[in-house]
Amino acid sequence: MKFEAIAVEKIPLIHKGDDLPSIICERIELQDRDIIVIASTIVAKTEGEIFRLEDIIPEEQALEIAARTGKDARFIQAVLARSREVFVEAPFMLVTTLAGHTCVNAGVDESNIEHGFLLYPPENSDASASKLGNELERISGKKLSVIVTDTNGRAFKIGQTGVAIGIFKIKPIKRWIGEKDLFGKTLEITEEAIADELAGAANLLMGEGAGGIPVVIIRGLDYYFEGNTSIKESYRPEDMDVLKKGLRCLRN
Ligand code: GDP
Ligand code: MN
Ligand code: MN
Ligand code: MN
């Protein structure tokens, strides 16, 4: 058994309006059931989610948080602009985004963008993944899955990893419940975070710096799913999220 992770080489610096599906298809011949993993950074660039820090005008809540934490009120305003709920203000902002993803700084990013600029994550990464996926399938004539990724920290462990923030034609979770283990016992709770695992694998080739590899093809795994999927299927229901409940207690 094996699968491949293939870096798409020689992708240029990406700008607003660039045609990512064509840029990808000009550089690699896609095959049926390939999983196209795309860094959210370049999706955000094509969608024009680029803001100049000095142009951001902080509102009341951002000014309050800045006063409490000593952080740049303009950066906090950028984070709040994409947040639905703030759980932690310092030493980092831990928020749930408007799209429902819980992460540090709402995914607002200062890396791999010109000095003085901020990159906001795509507003709806599922929609971005679908748009890119439909176009990639049209150009290539192949059956494809897409995962839009970002780099996130983890609770309890140091070190960041690639995670899925938007998907197309792949299920985010593989349910093992009901399957047998090596000794014939029935598995009762295990669900495997397929999309995040693939994002992590692809991130090994992307890295976080000047590598210039924002797109990785995963080939040789059969996770193609013909139908609508959403990364929201992987968000823990609010009433079962004990960590969020605990953080709300600390905050209030
Ligand atoms: P994020 O995880 O979505 O925030 O993306 P990163 O900032 O970690 O970048 C992931 C990879 O994409 C790295 O290899 C970067 O060098 C690369 N990258 C970012 N922007 C561009 C771009 O505009 N063009 C190219 N070719 N690579 C880029
Ligand atoms: Mn980045
Ligand atoms: Mn990022
Ligand atoms: Mn990254």
Ordered by start, the domain boundaries in the chain are 4-49+121-241, 51-120
With 0.90 as the threshold, say if the pTM is over it.
yes
Ligand 1 touching residue 89 (CB < 6 A): no
Q: Of 168, 162, 163, which is closest to residue 206 (Cα–Cα)?
A: 162
Which CATH architecture describes the domain 51-120?
Alpha-Beta Complex (3.90)
Taking the C-alpha atoms of residue 170 and residue 218, their distance in angstroms, rounded to an integer, is: 12
- The string of pLDDT tens digits covering residues 18-66 is 999 999 999 999 999 999 999 999 999 999 999 999 999 999 999 999 9
Q: Which atom of ligand 1 is nearest to the CA of 44?
A: 3
Q: Which atom of ligand 1 is nearest to the CA of 162?
A: 2
Ligand 1 touching residue 153 (CB < 6 A): no
Cis-peptide into 91, omega within 30 deg: yes
Strands (E), 30-125: 35-39, 50-52, 83-88, 94-97, 102-104, 117-119
- For residue 106, report the distance from its CA to the centre of ligand 4, in Å: 14
DSSP state string for 9-44? -------TT--HHHHHHTT----TT-EEEEEHHHHH
Ligand 1 touching residue 108 (CB < 6 A): no
Counting ligands in written order, the one closest to the CA of 117 is 2
- The string of pLDDT tens digits covering residues 76-130 is 999 999 999 999 999 999 999 999 999 999 999 999 999 999 999 999 999 999 9
Specify the residue with its C-alpha closest to ligand 1, atom 24: 13
Ligand 1 touching residue 38 (CB < 6 A): no
Helix (H, G, I), strand (E, B) or coil at 229: coil
Q: Could you tell me if the ipTM is greater than 0.95?
A: yes
- With contact defined as beta carbons under 8 Å apart, do 118 and 50 qualify? yes
Out of 28, 37, 41, mutate this one to test ligand 1's pocket (max ligand atoms within 8 Å of CB): namely: 41
- Section 232-251 average pLDDT: 95
Burial class (CB in 10 A: 0-12, 13-18, 19+), 117: middle
| CA neighbours closer than 13 Å in the CB half-sphere of residue 15 | 1
pLDDT for 252: 82
- The string of pLDDT tens digits covering residues 208-225 is 999 999 999 999 999 999
Specify the residue with its C-alpha closest to ligand 1, atom 19: 112
- For residue 150, report the distance from its CA to the centre of ligand 2, in Å: 8
∠ CA 89-102-172 to the nearest 5 degrees? 165
pLDDT at 251 exceeding the cut of 90: no
Burial class (CB in 10 A: 0-12, 13-18, 19+), 196: buried
Q: Among 3.30.2020.10, 3.40.50.300, 3.30.1330.100, 3.60.10.10, name the CATH number for the domain at 4-49+121-241.
A: 3.30.1330.100
Q: Which atom of ligand 1 is nearest to the CA of 15?
A: 23
Q: Which atom of ligand 1 is nearest to the CA of 45?
A: 23
- The string of pLDDT tens digits covering residues 158-194 is 999 999 999 999 999 999 999 999 999 999 988 999 9
